[in-house]
Amino acid sequence: MFTQELNAVYILWLRQIKRYYRARSRVIGSFAQPLLFLFALGYGLGPVYAQAGKGNYIDFLVPGIISMSIIFSGMFSGLAVIWDRQFGFLRETLVAPVSRLSIMLGRTLGGATIAFGQGVFIFIVSLFIGFHVQNWILVIPAFIMMFLIAILFTALGTGMASRLEDIQGFQFIMNFLLMPLFFLSGALFPLTNIPTVLMYIVAFNPLSYGVDALRALLVGTTQFGIGMDFVVVTSVAIVFMVLGAYLFSTIEA
């Protein structure tokens, strides 16, 4: 019974990876936006940041851009659910004798793996434009954190997509959600001395803790503390996963 659930998770994961790998144009397109942010902001705002006495902006920015590429890719992988619904394939998974948690898990891990891979790619590119890793051992926990962020936001996107029937609606909600999540996470600016109201909003955004953890591990500065970061990101990821499994159990097709 348990091995069958595990196999189901595996085959759902594999399907996602295969589809991604085969859609070459999507692979290239998905890197364009974070790279643009990295180059434009990194080189554009760098001198201002240095003048303000904050040091190297690229070092500050890279954890934010890594997070950005992960949440965009993760959230949008929820689109796969809507495509599957429109092309009828969703039914094939819904009548299968596996738990809805396994379906949610398999889909989420698939999307999260892709999102994580993109984060790793941005990390590697950033090394070539002057990003300094403070301690290479800590890259390992940083990668774990990247994967957790990926799971959290893929689960969110997938869960929301299970409620929606058309692509336009999904894109509309995504744009409303993604930009605030990204801009109000401390990905682009330091959280020291920002207005209190803004700080409350930032503290309520799970991405803030992901960005903070990556900054702690890769650059060595933290706002909330690395322990707090891991606790928040992991628990929110679990909550979204369970919620998504529940939403999948109520889908009618």
Partner 1 sequence: MWSTVSASPIIEVIHLSKNFGEFSAVNDISFSVPKGEIYAFLGPNGAGKSTTIKMLTTLLRPTKGGVRICDVDVLQHPSEARRLFSVMFQEPSLDDELTAYENLEFHGVLYGVPRALRHERIDELLEMVELADRRHHMVKGFSGGMKRRLEIARGLLHHPRILFLDEPTVGLDPQTRNHLWEYVHVLNKSESITVFFTTHYLDEVDQHAHLVSIIDHGVIIADGTVDSIKKETHTDTMESAYLSLTGKMIREEGGDNSNRSRIMRAFAK
Nearer to partner 1, 166 or 192 (CB): 166
Between residues 3 and 51, which has the closer beta carbon with respect to partner 1? 3
Contact set with partner 1 (CB under 8 A): 4, 7-8, 10-11, 15, 18-19, 22-23, 84, 86-99, 166, 252-253
Phi, psi angle pair for 63, to nearest 5°: -60, -35
For residue 79, the minimal CB distance to partner 1 (Å) is 12
Task: Indicate the residue among 15 and 54 with the shorter CB distance to partner 1.
Answer: 15
Contact 237, 78 (CB under 8 A): no
CB of 103 to partner 1, least distance (A): 9
Amino acid identity of 65? I
- Min dist CB 157 to partner 1, Å, is 19
Q: How far is the CB of 100 from partner 1 (least distance, A)?
A: 8
How far out from the chain centre does Cα 5 lie?
Answer: 25
Cα 9 to Cα 51, 108, 112, 139: the distances in Å are: 51, 9, 13, 27
Distance in angstroms (rounded) separating the CA atoms of residues 221 and 203: 17
Q: Which is nearer to partner 1, 167 or 173 (CB)?
A: 167
Nearest to 155 by CA among 66, 247, 78: 78
**Least distance in angstroms from the C-beta of 94 to partner 1:** 6
Helix %, strand %, coil % for the chain, to 5?
80, 0, 20
Residue with tokens 């936001």: 153
Residue placing its CB nearer to partner 1 in the complex, 203 or 251: 251
